[in-house]
Amino acid sequence: MLALLALSLAACGGGGDKLVIAVQPTSTAAELSADAGEIEEFLEARLDADVELRFPTTYAGVIEALRFGHADAAFMGAWPAALATQEAGAEIALAEIREVIIDDELTEAPYYYSYWVVPSDSPYTSLEELQGKKAAFPSQLSTSGYVAPVARLVELGLLEPAAAGEQADPRDFFDEVFFAGGYAQAWEALKAGQVDVSVIAGDVPEELYREVLADTRVLEEQGPIPSHAVVFSKDLKDPLRSDLQQALLQLGSEENRELMRTFISGTFVRFEPTTTDEHLAALNEYLEATGLVFTEARASSGPQAGPDPEPDPEADPEPEAPSTVEPPPARATQVNVTLHEWSVEPDSATVPAGTIYFLASNEGEEPHELVIVRSDDAPDELPVVDGLVAEDRVDLIGEIEGIAPGSQASGVFELVPGRYILLCNIAELEEGKLESHYQLGMATSFTVE
């Protein structure tokens, strides 16, 4: 997939009279095309360059584009921005100022805090007392909802600092860990009594923040947590570099605020100049303490290896290793899922919330995978780019990869109540034509009660 992206970017090329800005959008590229045109025209009127906004489907794609000169700048979250500085030699030039709540006051800042919370009537008065209990995080890819809270556990001595090459794992402290798919979902799990503790952040919509804080007690605070950033390629030089920075500062004016909230975050206010060291100082400390690694396709069963950075789009998607089946954990609900061309068929469409053990059987003639997404959309309405569901634009719970024809593989996931979609997210070139397993029908609804 990244190879397809690189080929697409290279075909248009960066540099010269063209300036390419890579964007991780909050919606599909098709839905954003009209708004992208407005931004392109705004910047072109202030720069001696033809400006183009592009929408890679993954943060890894953005980083590779910056690294190889296919993008000159990017709008990125803090954690991926940190990776871009490390792996692509990029520099953070602008920080997002967003509406956040700090000390119970709505304010504007390039940083915010997150909080460990328990229900108001909880008997627990400290995180230490929650050892062996159940916790809900919004996402393993969230700086405020996972990295900083895990770093706080390390700081308090509840988790050991990560050894070289290892990652701190909250399961070493809590008995069960859920990844709910968002702050609202984590709050629902806490309200329903499915977990004993959760996390809320000061950059969520104010209504949600006030609702959570009205019915909970804060046990610990962590921060500051950096907001999103504008990252410049190491190859972007003056005068275009300075001109772009000034133009983006103008783009952050109040009259463009709603437009920019489509591309940056729902609480965007404006940009302000910053540096890599200034913006990422706290985050780098959290990452050093925890050893956490940003991996876009992560199952809730634990850290996984990252994707192949340069897959061959012409090659068949053969599994890199044999599929494996592990025994189901005690008290887990088992769901048997049959995969073949072109359907995904679970033996039960509704299961109780908790630990779910999926046993996937590939009865088809091609390799498949089982991806779990939390979504209220119809199974065929997820955002798609280059034949693949854009996993960074959905609530990705996890996946079971590389299931060869005639084989089985298993995975264990902690699921909270809600609607989900089970799908196969493989796309390959067949005789020069892109074949998308998802678009051919390999997706179905799944409900957790």
Q: For residues 357 and 327, what is the distance between their CA atoms, to the nearest angstrom?
A: 9
Residues 217 and 241 in one domain: no
Q: Is position 304 within any domain?
A: no
Q: Is position 319 within any domain?
A: no
Q: Is position 305 within any domain?
A: no
In one-letter notation, the amino acid at residue 28 is T
In one-letter notation, the amino acid at residue 441 is G
Q: Is position 322 within any domain?
A: no
Count up the domains in the chain and report the number. 3
Residues 340 and 438 in one domain: yes
Average pLDDT, stretch 335-362? 93
Q: For residues 115 and 190, what is the distance between their CA atoms, to the nearest angstrom?
A: 14
Residues 93 and 45 in one domain: yes
**CATH number for the domain harbouring residue 126:** 3.40.190.10
More confident site: 373 or 315: 373
Q: Is position 321 within any domain?
A: no
The predicted-structure confidence for 167-186, as pLDDT tens digits, reads as follows 999 999 999 888 877 888 88
Average pLDDT, the chain: 84
Q: Is position 313 within any domain?
A: no
Q: Give the least confident one: 15-24, 222-231, 300-309.
A: 300-309
Distance between start and end Cα atoms, the chain: 35
pLDDT, position 199: 97
Q: Is position 314 within any domain?
A: no
What residues form DSSP beta bridges with 108?
99
Query: Could you list the residue range(s) of the whole structural domain that residue 61 is in?
Result: 2-99+227-290
Q: Shortest CA distance to 368 belongs to which of 408, 397, 328?
A: 408
More confident site: 248 or 5: 248
Residue 15 has pLDDT above 60, yes or no: no
Residues 432 and 344 in one domain: yes
CB atoms within 10 A of CB 362: 25
**Residue with the two structure tokens 């509406």:** 99
Tokens representing residue 221 in the block: 């605070």
Last residue of a domain, one of 210, 226, 242: 226
Last residue of a domain, one of 198, 226, 254: 226
Task: Tell me the pTM.
Answer: 0.64
**CATH number for the domain harbouring residue 382:** 2.60.40.420
Q: Give the least confident one: 14-23, 137-146, 320-329, 353-362.
A: 320-329
Q: Give the least confident one: 1-15, 243-257, 368-382.
A: 1-15
Last residue of a domain, one of 226, 246, 263: 226
209 neighbors 70 (Cβ within 8 angstroms): no
Residue 266 has pLDDT above 80, yes or no: no
pLDDT, position 296: 55
Reduced to 3 states (helix: H, G, I; strand: E, B; else coil), residue 11 is helix
Residues 94 and 183 in one domain: no
Residues 166 and 266 in one domain: no
Residue 310 contacts by C-beta under 8 Å, 6 or more apart in sequence?
A: 2, 3, 6
Q: Is position 413 within any domain?
A: yes
Q: Shortest CA distance to 230 belongs to which of 379, 77, 87, 118?
A: 77
Average pLDDT, stretch 325-348? 90
Q: For residues 376 and 360, what is the distance between their CA atoms, to the nearest angstrom?
A: 23
Q: For residues 322 and 404, what is the distance between their CA atoms, to the nearest angstrom?
A: 8
The predicted-structure confidence for 384-416, as pLDDT tens digits, reads as follows 877 788 887 888 999 998 788 888 889 999 899
